[in-house]
Structure 1
Amino acid sequence: MSNGVTLTAATRQNLLSLQDTASLTATTQNRLATGKKVSSALDNPVTFFTSQALDQRSGDLSSLLDGISNGVQAIQAANQGITSIQKLVDQAKSVANQAISTQITTNGTASTAFSANTTAATTINLFVNGTSTSATIPTSATIDQAITALNTAVGAGSFSKDSTGTKIVMNASSDVEFNTTTDQTNLGFAAGSGSTTAYGATTAVAQSADLTVSGVSARSSLASQYNSLLTQIDQLASDASFNGTNLIGGKGTNNNLTINFNAKGNSNLTVTATDATSNGLSLKAITGSSAAGTVGQGNFLLNKDINTTLNSLTTASNSLRSSSSTFGSALSVVQNRQDFTKNLINVLDTGSANLTNADLNAEAANSQALSTRQSLGISALSLANQAQQGILQLLR
């Protein structure tokens, strides 16, 4: 539809220039207000959707960072648990070494003189540190012959005679127990009364009042300390969790931790859980009996049992070191991917910003220039209308 007002060519040209300036001013003011040179698909479809894709990928990676961060903490919790358990294992080693260095002795002098059987040989059944043994005393043997037989069974120097030469004296570097009271009285020791001692499937009679055993109770106390440390190991392994994930608790294969590094889930790392409990480390509690084939039993009475326990502690230490190395390697990988993801997010955000963000310094300069251009356009439009203003003066 044509305009009913007749304008000169110069006026129309100046008007179009002012309209263009006003449009550019509006665009510049929008960029200054939003900070974006492309704020919608209408501004530049290709640039807008490319930037949007970059932002979406950046957002996906940002959401994965929380899972990666939790994974780092879960591995660190497990590694800290292993470090603390290693200290408990070392403490358990110290207790076992203290037990094996605690000397067990049996000392005392028979209350009655030794008198050998004159009709038949006599067999004395004994337990030396829980191990069954026997000594055969010949018929009508002298005290020296009896002592020789006993030392052969128990150990050189374990038996001797007193100053009168009639009574047997025991100075054994072990816990020597008798199978029956008859075995005691046959050597002149008083018959024992009270609690018996179990050795596997057999039982020793109560110790004679003539004899004193030292070191056994001390080793028993150390065995209790050892068992307490195993309990602490189990509790510590159970507590080494983060956000419900426990990599050393030993509750099953479901404790494995999978950390995703991309939105598709095809880039990930699975950290395999390990059992750092006493059971997982093959550490057995010390019990009161020393049955055949049982590891570390008998309240640390037997040196061989203590040595077996020490070997199992060494194996446990090696297992913990191996697990710590595995977790350390996994932690290094996860932290590296965490840093990579953070840097990649920065790259994506920067790329998106380069496509859509406006240069505010340039837009501010444009705004000033457009303001000046608008003023000039208005002045030019005024000059273009001066001819008509001259005609108006003639009409007046």
Structure 2
Amino acid sequence: MTDINLSKAVRSNLLSLQSTAASMAKTQERLATGLKVNSALDNPTNFFTAASLNSRAGDMSNLLDSMASGIKTIEAADNGLSSITKTVESMQSTLRQARQDKSFKTQSFTVDTAATGNVSFSGGAVGESAVNVAVGSGSGVQSTVAASADYQAPASANGQISFVYDPNTTAFSGDAVIYQFTVDGAAEAMSIIDSDISAIGDLDTSIDDIDEFVAAFNYGRDTSGSSGYTATTDGTNIIISSDTTGASSTIDVVSADGDADIGGSINHTFGIAAGTGTAGSTTDLSKQVTISNGSATATITLTSANAGSVATARSYIQSQLTAQGVTGVTVGGSGGRIDLAGAANGSNSITVGGADADDVFGVAPTVTAGTFAGTYSVDQLVQSINTNTALTGKLRASNDSGKLRIENLSTEELTVTGVGTDGEIDGTSGTTTIGGNDVRKNLVKQFNDLRDQLDKFADDASFNGINLLRGDKLKLTFNETGTSTIDIQARDADGDATSVDNSTLGITGAVDADFDSDADLDARLSTLSDALGELRSHASSFGSNLSIVQNRQDFTKNMINTLETGAANLTLADTNEEAANLLALQTRQQLSSTALSMASQADQAVLRLF
């Protein structure tokens, strides 16, 4: 390509015009972007400093989003707390309404003037165990049976006596009666003489063991003509038995020669009734008595097994009276006698009988008939019922124009026992019921419904998957390095994480019986008051956290503005200045164009030669 040669003037003007065009392009760029530093080439220091400031401002802008979300989470929890607080206040109103309500059911009863026994209360606030209140006075004459003789215990059919043998180490001394055997005072001589020694067998010159005594007793009895009695041994004791039936007998076995071979005189009454028992029988002979309290009679059979002593006889008779339904009779006595006592208020009379009553109570026991003093007046019954600690606060009695008025202080039915078919209190087993307080019962349901809603408010107070009322933790970061954070969570008085619900607030479900007593209602009101205190504490804590987050949000916004303004100061163009520059450059461009034109015209002067 052939080079084109320009004149100096043209070249100079052309360069000036190119420079002006380049400056105009930069000025137009600054006006278009608003920046005087558009790249690191424009001003490396300002460009990278501004980029750092803008980057930090951008990071803080991202934190603003999480702060805004956190604020809404706290507001959701506060909304839940507000609703829960209103619910607890409604529950308080329900309890106060129940406490003010006194529409307890009542019933009035005529009292039978001949009534005895008790009036009993069960159910309602009293519970399953009945509480008895006597309807009669206790100042009557008590019925008694005082025995006239000691108790005679039954004996076994074979009429045995048993004793420990003390062997005689003294040799025989001639033809003498060594032992004397008597029955009811009649001697039954039992002789053992020298000439009998060889006939007895093992016996040598003395009786020195149990077996030898038994052998000697039976031998001597046979040789002396005594019959009907036999000696045996169980290895420790000597047992003398009657082999036949017959009248009661007393047997004595004594040492005729003065030796204490068998511990002195042994006395025993066999107690064998004529015509009963069999030879060698081991079945106890029994004694039978009857005891009546005026309305029920017990037939009691006493044997040597269950009544061998006066102490065991008393215990067995008492157990049989209870088993056979003869109430109001107490078995006692002193020494060897058995006495009976009736009800303390004299409401029963005791009679005794039976084939063997004489052996148990004596031939002519002293009997005192019971005399009942009569039924309490209505006022006396009212006092007895109202002063019974087991009934206090559970029912209330009053005098309703001569009738006994019972007020059931419960939401459940109260059962009254001791009411006859005619509706009178007569101490019988008849029952009637007094209804419960329906208003308080309905308020129990209302209370439980409100309690259920409390937990539902807590469940629904979540935002973006976080529920501060269920123990969730909200963590917010306040700076771009993560060194400034806050943890927001519901906490108890000890600072431990907790939830806000019925369980942590101590609000338990109610049953009808919980609304029976004003004291129980007051206790629940106290619990709700404590719950409100906890709710206000949580609300205060969340409010404080909300204030911290909002303040931090405002601070972050201001910091972002500061950072962005600082970056702008380093990179933004002055549009007024750049506009003036552009105008100047445009003027310069026009002048350069004119100068270039003039220079070109000078070069064209040569054409005039042609």
Check whether TM > 0.5.
Answer: yes
Give distance in 2, aligned partners of 1:113 and 1:324: 65
The residue aligned with 1:27 is 26
Residue 478 (structure 2) pairs with residue 243 (structure 1)? no
The residue aligned with 1:291 is none
Residue 410 (structure 2) pairs with residue 158 (structure 1)? no
Q: Give aligned pairs, total.
A: 355
Give distance in 2, aligned partners of 1:70 and 1:192: 72
The residue aligned with 2:211 is none
TM-score w.r.t. the length of structure 1 is 0.79
Letter paired with 1:96: L
CA contact (8 A) 2:514 2:521 kept: no
Letter paired with 1:372: T
Q: Secondary structure, in 3 states, of the residue corresponding to 2:404?
A: strand
The residue aligned with 2:383 is 148
Distance 1:38 1:363, change over 3 A: same
* Cα deviations by residue, 1:117-154 (Å, 9 ceiling, x for unpaired): 3xxx7584567844786544533343324343223225
- CA displacement at 1:287 relative to structure 2: 2.3
Q: Which runs of 5+ in 1 are unaligned?
A: 194-207, 289-297
The residue aligned with 2:206 is none
The residue aligned with 1:285 is 509
CA contact (8 A) 1:11 1:381 kept: yes
Deviates more, 1:22-31 or 1:135-144: 135-144
Deviates more, 1:379-388 or 1:53-62: 379-388
Distance 1:141 1:177, change over 3 A: farther
Q: Which runs of 5+ in 2 are unaligned?
A: 138-344, 346-372, 491-497
Percent of aligned positions that are identical:
39
Give distance in 2, aligned partners of 1:380 and 1:189: 141
Distance 1:29 1:364, change over 3 A: same
Residue 549 (structure 2) pairs with residue 334 (structure 1)? yes
The residue aligned with 1:205 is none
Which of 578, 581, 585 matches 1:363? 578
Letter paired with 1:240: A
The residue aligned with 1:98 is 97
- CA displacement at 1:379 relative to structure 2: 2.3
- CA displacement at 1:343 relative to structure 2: 1.9
- CA displacement at 1:111 relative to structure 2: 5.3
Distance 1:393 1:99, change over 3 A: same
* Structure 1 or 2: more helix by fraction: 1
Give distance in 1, aligned partners of 2:525 and 2:396: 29
Q: Which has the larger radius of gyration?
A: 2
Which of 559, 566, 574 matches 1:344? 559
Give distance in 2, aligned partners of 1:222 and 1:342: 53
* Cα deviations by residue, 1:255-281 (Å, 9 ceiling, x for unpaired): 110111112221111111352211121
Give distance in 2, aligned partners of 1:148 and 1:84: 49
- CA displacement at 1:217 relative to structure 2: 1.9
CA contact (8 A) 2:107 2:405 kept: yes
Q: Secondary structure, in 3 states, of the residue corresponding to 1:105?
A: coil
Letter paired with 1:151: N
Letter paired with 2:462: S
Q: Secondary structure, in 3 states, of the residue corresponding to 2:405?
A: strand
Letter paired with 1:158: A
CA contact (8 A) 1:111 1:190 kept: no
CA contact (8 A) 2:107 2:406 kept: yes
Deviates more, 1:22-31 or 1:375-384: 375-384
Q: Secondary structure, in 3 states, of the residue corresponding to 1:72?
A: helix
* Cα deviations by residue, 1:370-391 (Å, 9 ceiling, x for unpaired): 111011122234445665544x
Q: Secondary structure, in 3 states, of the residue corresponding to 2:515?
A: coil
Letter paired with 2:381: A
CA contact (8 A) 1:35 1:357 kept: yes
CA contact (8 A) 2:382 2:404 kept: no
- CA displacement at 1:228 relative to structure 2: 0.4
Letter paired with 2:407: A
Letter paired with 2:483: N
Letter paired with 1:30: E
Letter paired with 1:268: T
Residue 490 (structure 2) pairs with residue 267 (structure 1)? no
Letter paired with 1:220: K
CA contact (8 A) 1:130 1:301 kept: no
Letter paired with 2:22: S
Which of 224, 233, 246 matches 2:454? 233
* Structure 1 or 2: more strand by fraction: 2
- CA displacement at 1:365 relative to structure 2: 2.2
Give distance in 1, aligned partners of 2:99 and 2:427: 29
* Cα deviations by residue, 1:300-337 (Å, 9 ceiling, x for unpaired): 11222111111110000000111111111111111111
Backbone CA RMSD of aligned residues:
3.1
Residue 284 (structure 2) pairs with residue 48 (structure 1)? no
The residue aligned with 1:311 is 526
The residue aligned with 2:202 is none
Distance 1:267 1:141, change over 3 A: farther
Distance 1:134 1:126, change over 3 A: farther
Give distance in 2, aligned partners of 1:157 and 1:287: 22
Letter paired with 2:387: T
Distance 1:11 1:213, change over 3 A: same
CA contact (8 A) 1:93 1:310 kept: yes
CA contact (8 A) 2:109 2:424 kept: no
Give distance in 1, aligned partners of 2:589 and 2:444: 97
